[in-house]
Amino acid sequence: MRNKVTVFASLAGVAALCGCIGSIDYKYTYDPAANFSGQKTYGWLTQPSYSTPHAPMQDYVQYNADRALEAKGWKRVSDQPELLFAMDLDFDTYDGYQLRGVTLRASRRDTGVSVWRGSALGKIDGSATSPDLQDAVNKILSTFPPK
């Protein structure tokens, strides 16, 4: 009986540990002096595209970010946006569909000063059949604009 309890406790500990390993840590920071109340337009900073295998994932992040920002009343414009967004994707070197991190940054177009940054760090499945990447982008942008 004692061995069964020990095995059960060991299995429960392993299951709990596995749950922690797959968790995603969300963080954000912003410039407390920045005033977001009058701003409602944004664009994307032109940045080098990721290599061909990762280009669709970059587009997917941008697509989901656009949807999340539109739902908050922000409008994407190509001429004179108030804020410019940029992204950083940190890929797992062993699997092209696994991400270790997604970071979105917003800067003032007129000054280039960074005013907000949000990130998701952890194991994020970037394949089209998984909701992980969309969920990560939505959770990152849930903190934008800061209140």
Q: Cβ(104)–Cβ(141) under 8 Å?
A: yes
DSSP helix/strand/coil, 90: strand
Structure tokens at 112: 């280039």
Taking the mean position of all CA atoms in its chain, how far away is CA 146? 16
- Series of mean pLDDT values for 10-residue runs along the chain (147 residues): 43 39 88 91 80 75 96 96 94 79 96 96 89 95 93
What pLDDT, on a 0 to 100 scale, did the predictor assign at position 27? 97
pTM of the model: 0.80
CATH class of the domain at 24-141: alpha beta
Q: What pLDDT, on the 0 to 100 scale, is given for residue 136?
A: 96
- The pLDDT of residue 9 is 39
